[in-house]
Amino acid sequence: MSTLIFKLPQGLPTPTSALRVVQTGSHSTDLPRHFETSLASLSDVPGTERVALVPQTRLSWHRVELPAGTLDKRFFQEGGSARLRAVLDGLLEERLLDDTALLHFALAPEAQTGAPIWVAACDRSWLKAWLDALEQGGRTVSRIVPEFIPTGADSATQLHALGDSNHPMLVCCGPAGVASLPLSASTLQWLLAANTPGTAVQWWSEPGVAHIAEQLLGAAVPLQTETERTAMAAQTGWDLAQFEFSASRQARSRKRWSSVWDTLMHSPAWRAARWSAVAIVLAHVAGLQAWSWKEQAAQTAKRNAIAAVLTTTFPDTKVVVDAPAQMARSVALLQRQSGAPTGSDMESMLNQFGALAPETAAPAAIEFSANELRLSGLDSNAAEFSSLAANLQTQGLRARWEGSTLIVQSVPPGAKP
């Protein structure tokens, strides 16, 4: 999934406010691109994730240690716990110049109690104004990320040279936090003196101030454009959308599963797994098709064998449509031609009736026509006749009552009673 990253300007939003937008591709090899537009003419790209980027000059960083039990899932899972907010207000009240009620706080990802954690703070009304402006324009963001974040104790200190030759700046991201300083020789000397000996330092520079950074450092500095840095900032685990700015559980779930799906479908690390899944599916499809062919061949062989029995026994049969039914009709025809009784004869039906009917059963009239036997004058309501029709059906005959008349029919070959 591609991503639209809106870098929020310093001032409050207006219809003519210039907004820098960075778009990243759905593949890791796609280069990010940027464009600038006003808030009123901001276009959208369907099917993209929208991320708001808070500039460093709008953030302050504070290291606190939360009391045990503060990060219980019941309180923090939805990001809007009044209890957690009250704890942060108490811990940061004396460290901030502004009233804590005017600020928005966000905890570091995977924060835990019992150890110092980072808390980012920014102006609440400014952030809300920009989020509302984007939402009114149909550009609701799903995440809010900081432009720079502190590094871990075991990570290298990152120094970013920004700006232009008229206003060169240096952003230092280290274990002590994030600081913006003028890019000068005195700043560099102070940082080197304050840095712990042996700690690795990683330099980055925008093209506009690369010559200044290289002159001060005395060595080449890797280049990194603002667009590249913005795209990398959106890939961190930080999300400032907490407390009143937190998204709903469903929105977060959709975002998480969408990210997982996008990773599985496009990440080079999962390419082997994708091809393996395709190979497994194709193997199963081929196996099912082969099994289907085998079963069809077995059924065809059985049908051919049955048809061979019919045509061998009765050579006059030219066309085989339903071999069992045709066989039964041919046998019945032979029986009639030879004078042998069949199941459709009156004698056979009367024998079956006599074997199942009570000894006192004496029909007043017997009529036989077209393989149908009608026995009149019987009491269908009598207890001894209650199961007679059902018993005749078990013998391969069809039987039903019409008033006091029992109608018995023979079943055609291949049909069910």
CATH code of residue 258: 3.30.420.380
CATH code of residue 179: 3.30.420
Whether residues 52 and 99 fall in one domain: yes
Close Cβ partners of 123 (under 8 Å, ≥ 6 residues apart): 58, 98, 102, 103, 104
Whether residues 389 and 406 fall in one domain: yes
Select from 340, 368, 389 the last residue of a domain. 340
User: Alpha-carbon distance 65 to 229, whole Å?
Assistant: 30
The answer to the question of residue 383 being in a domain is yes
User: What counts of helices (H) and strands (E) characterise the chain?
Assistant: 11, 16
Boundaries of domain holding 345: 341-410
Burial class (CB in 10 A: 0-12, 13-18, 19+), 294: exposed
Select from 164, 196, 223 the last residue of a domain. 223
Whether residues 97 and 181 fall in one domain: no
Q: How far is CA 416 from the centre of its chain?
A: 50
The mean pLDDT of 192-205, rounded to a whole number, is: 79
Whether residues 37 and 125 fall in one domain: yes
Contact of 76 with 84, CB cutoff 8 Å: yes
Q: Is residue 252's pLDDT more than 60? A: no
User: Alpha-carbon distance 227 to 180, whole Å?
Assistant: 19
The answer to the question of residue 417 being in a domain is no
Whether residues 285 and 260 fall in one domain: no
Whether residues 388 and 253 fall in one domain: no
Alpha-carbon separation of residue 125 from 13, 62, 94, 102 (angstroms): 11, 20, 21, 7
The answer to the question of residue 229 being in a domain is no
Whether residues 204 and 241 fall in one domain: no
Whether residues 83 and 7 fall in one domain: yes
CATH code of residue 371: 3.30.1360
Evaluated on CA atoms 300, 303, 308, 311, the torsion sign reads negative
- Percentage of the chain exceeding pLDDT 70: 85
The answer to the question of residue 120 being in a domain is yes
pLDDT in tens, 145-189: 999 999 988 888 899 999 998 999 999 999 889 999 999 999 988
Whether residues 120 and 13 fall in one domain: yes
The answer to the question of residue 415 being in a domain is no
Q: Is residue 417's pLDDT more than 60? A: no
Q: Cβ of 214: how many Cβ atoms within 10 Å?
A: 15
The answer to the question of residue 165 being in a domain is yes
The answer to the question of residue 161 being in a domain is yes
Alpha-carbon separation of residue 344 from 38, 256, 372, 395 (angstroms): 94, 73, 8, 12
Q: What six digits make up the tokens of 400? A: 């039903």
User: Per DSSP, what are the bridge partners of residue 159?
Assistant: 172, 203
Selection from 40-54, 113-127, 357-371, 392-406 with the highest mean pLDDT: 113-127
Contact of 26 with 113, CB cutoff 8 Å: no
Whether residues 200 and 98 fall in one domain: no
Contact of 10 with 57, CB cutoff 8 Å: yes
User: Per DSSP, what are the bridge partners of residue 117?
Assistant: 64
Whether residues 346 and 376 fall in one domain: yes
Element housing 92 (H / E): helix 82-92
* Measured torsion, CA atoms of residues 310, 313, 316, 319, in degrees rounded to the nearest 10: 10
The answer to the question of residue 228 being in a domain is no
Residue 3 pLDDT class (50, 70, 90 cuts): confident
Amino acid 127 reads L
Whether residues 405 and 349 fall in one domain: yes
Task: Provide the number of structural domains found in the chain.
Answer: 4
Residue 76 pLDDT class (50, 70, 90 cuts): very low
Q: Is residue 393's pLDDT more than 60? A: yes
